[in-house]
Amino acid sequence: DWHSGETDPTAKKAWKELCDVVKPKKLFVHDGFNGLSINPHEKDQQIRKAILAGKGQLNLQAELKQFAVDLNEMSKWSGVNEVIVVKSNHDEFLDRWLQSGGYVEDPTNYAIGVELAHKMVKGNNPLQYGVESAGLVSKSMVRWLSMDEDYFIAGIQMGAHGHKGPKGSRGSLASMESSYGQSVTGHSHGPGIL
């Protein structure tokens, strides 16, 4: 999980160093977009929102731009010729915010919300559109997976974030194994092997 804008600098440095050594052709990004500016879990937390506003962290356009900067950088890491953005729960923050009309009462993000909602109505991925519009230079190197899109390498599922299990249940190592067989997932923020 990347969480653009809140990525630990030590972790970022470690991933870049790992790419220098391994030179992977494909780089999979989970929770690349953080969604801090529109987090549905903090919608009614006015004190928390005031703190974030004071730090300039409630601006969706700035968040999209930061993710574009991060993807542009990742696309230049050693060996990488494709960056795959796995549809994740933080990406869904944006979808939920647009679906609920959250931008209507959000003066900071109203204009970008209307623009992204229009793109969503037209069938576009609003996150992809927003990040590309915010300065993604390496568009041809970035692949955006949809929620139910499989991506297998050597029979191992790489396209599932891990937050959703069978029939809409919460994801777990056991449910991922049951659903996909071997898979590499994000979401849990902790290592685990089954």
Tens-digit pLDDT profile for residues 23-72: 999 999 999 999 999 999 999 999 999 999 999 999 999 999 999 999 99
For residues 43 and 21, what is the distance between their CA atoms, to the nearest angstrom? 42
- Which pTM value belongs to this model? 0.90
Contacts for 134 with CB less than 8 Å, ≥ 6 apart: 61, 64, 65, 67, 68
Pick from 7-16, 121-130, 137-146, 157-166: least confident: 157-166
Please enumerate in sequence order all residues whose Cβ is within 8 A of that of 71, keeping only pairs 6 or more positions apart, or say none.
29, 32, 83, 85, 131, 136, 138, 142
Q: How far is the C-alpha of 1 from the C-alpha of 33, rounded, in Å?
A: 9
Which has more pLDDT, 164 or 45?
A: 45
pLDDT computed for residue 36 by the predictor:
96
Confidence at residue 162, expressed as pLDDT on a 0 to 100 scale:
67
What is the pLDDT confidence band of residue 143, given thresholds at 50, 70 and 90? very high
The encoded tokens of residue 60 equal 């969706």
Joined tokens for residue 7: 């990525």
Query: Of 94, 114, 96, which is closest to residue 104 (Cα–Cα)?
Result: 114
Q: What pLDDT does 48 receive?
A: 95
Give mean pLDDT, residues 75-85: 96
pLDDT band per the 50, 70, 90 thresholds, residue 176: low
What number is the average pLDDT over the span 104-123? 97
Which tokens sit at 127?
């996150």
